Structure 1
Amino acid sequence: MDFEFKNENNQRAVLLLHGMTGSPFEMKQYGKNLHRAGFDVYCPCLPGHGKDLLNVKKIKWQDWFNFAEKKYNELKQSYSEVYLGGICMGAVLALAISEKHKDVSGIIAISTTLFLDGWTIPWYSFLFPLGLHTILRFYYSFPEQEPYGIKNETVRRKISALLKENTVALNYIPMTCVYELLEMSKQVRKYIKDINQPILIMHSNRDDLTSLKSADFVYKHISSSIKDYIILKNSYHLITMDNDKDFAVQKSVEFLNSISILNNSRIEQVC
């Protein structure tokens, strides 16, 4: 499920990180378009996902972090500029890595999930802590259901068919995954003021999983001097596959190129 799109002698790479119980599939077309714009693109399948889906309940958020951090360090050996981009949990992960690694060139945070408060979250969500912080979390799962993070009905039907096969994502969300995501989100919220890299934040005001509260929090508390915040209006959670996907690519390429030019001008001034 991993994908890589590379050019010869390129010095600019983007490491993409997919969402919770998802796969690189949800970012593949987005990644192809970044590649066409002149960036090498890498999107690995996170631990507990892909062919390893059945083991996802055993995974800790530190496993996701360590895996993604290793991929980042590998890319730093070959590229002068390495950007991080993530959707959902992947955006939280990108922020966590950027807090530790100040040489991250820039961040693209899509549908950042610091809080689970979207419009499809059940009314009884106030009871979640009873399950999340007890042994119950190892036995309970939430079934995936429409709209699957997709507003576009044609794409939604395709996703629905694929979910039945468990090929591109789980058709349920283990409570253990929710617990680990929220634990990682807690750490990111705690240290977000230590993150100062350029960032592009994109979030839909119709996100079914996480409201604008998450994106607002990032924009308000991050210490980046360069930070762009775009609110989309024609998608749900999976922006990279939904109605706003082309616009998201356009703004991402503009952001990456602007930061790349800025980085190169700084290098020239030093020389």
Structure 2
Amino acid sequence: MNFFEKIPKETKVSPISKELYLKGDKDVAVLILHGYTGSPHDMYYIGREINKAGFTIYIPRLSGHGTNSIDFLNSSWKDWLRKSYESYLNLKSYYEKTYVLGLSMGGVLATILAEKFEIEKVVLAAPALLTVDWRIKLTPFMKFFIKRIPKKNVQTFDDHNLDFLAKNYWNYDWPSKAADLYKLERLAVKNLGDIKSKLFVILSEKDDAVPLSVKNLIETHVHSNYDFLILKESGHVVVNDIEKETVAKETINWLLN
């Protein structure tokens, strides 16, 4: 049975997970990539703010995200990287310049694209080049035995759409998909030294998923120009948390200069 036959007939994209494309008045586009188990809705705020500054923005939905858990289980790191790659090439064919911004796994994908295509400017928001959860290193073996592990702290939301995403993604650990994330992490870290892009890296001291030691990793291995924004209060989704206005403002200023 192929992956397509496994997908439920009722599969559809959640209303808050729709892709977003907004045209700006500059001949510059920004590809914006969401994270692992996330969806475009995490990136709507910063995307719209960047668009207000004149940039065209495109927020794609990575395969298996924003639909349901079966669809997610039947996607892989190759699908996520391919979607990012195709999205970048399509934007690049229309605009004089195309930059990339990625959150978490999206930051990992952005790192891989930066090394491959020598993109002029790349924003890495809480890039999952390292992760706090040490178990990710075991997932290449765990994936053969365990599909999903219920989390102890189940999330519930009053918003029906958020609650649907929580039940299908956030309330479980997914060893096989975490193994895919780990594969992307290793690909990205391996080639950090080859990056020629200018980087703007956003990290938070209260991020419980990506450690602040990513800063040291970049300082040690990246030889191109880079700037850091270190936040004090935000959680992992730094582009849409308590300091999101600061993140958007500083990101836009960096993109414009």
Could you say which residue in structure 2 is the equivalent of 1:268?
none
C-alpha separation in 2, matches of 1:37 and 1:144:
42
Distance 1:135 1:92, change over 3 A: closer
2:81–2:109 Cα contact (<8 Å) kept: yes
Q: How does 1:248-259 map to 2 (within 5 A)?
A: 248-258=247-257
Could you say which residue in structure 1 is the equivalent of 2:125?
110
Equivalent position SS for 1:212: coil
In structure 2, stretches of 5+ residues that fail to align are 1-17
* Identity across matched positions, percent: 26
Could you say which residue in structure 1 is the equivalent of 2:20?
3
Deviation of 1:187 (Å): 1.0
Could you say which residue in structure 2 is the equivalent of 1:262?
none
Equivalent position SS for 1:228: strand
Distance 1:231 1:78, change over 3 A: same
Distance 1:216 1:73, change over 3 A: same
Q: How does 1:178-217 map to 2 (within 5 A)?
A: 178-217=178-217
Equivalent position SS for 2:61: coil
Aligned length: 239
Distance 1:174 1:135, change over 3 A: closer
Q: How does 1:140-179 map to 2 (within 5 A)?
A: 140-143=148-151, 145=153, 162-166=161-165, 170-171=169-170, 172-179=172-179
2:157–2:163 Cα contact (<8 Å) kept: no
1:19–1:87 Cα contact (<8 Å) kept: yes
C-alpha separation in 1, matches of 2:138 and 2:166:
31
Equivalent position SS for 2:213: helix
Which protein has the bigger helix share? 1
1:13–1:41 Cα contact (<8 Å) kept: yes
C-alpha separation in 2, matches of 1:74 and 1:44:
12
Distance 1:110 1:144, change over 3 A: farther
Deviations 1:45-96 (A, max 9, x none): 0011122542212222121111111110111111011010010100000000
In structure 1, stretches of 5+ residues that fail to align are 149-155, 259-271
> Structure 2 length normalisation: TM-score?
0.85
> Structure 1 length normalisation: TM-score?
0.81
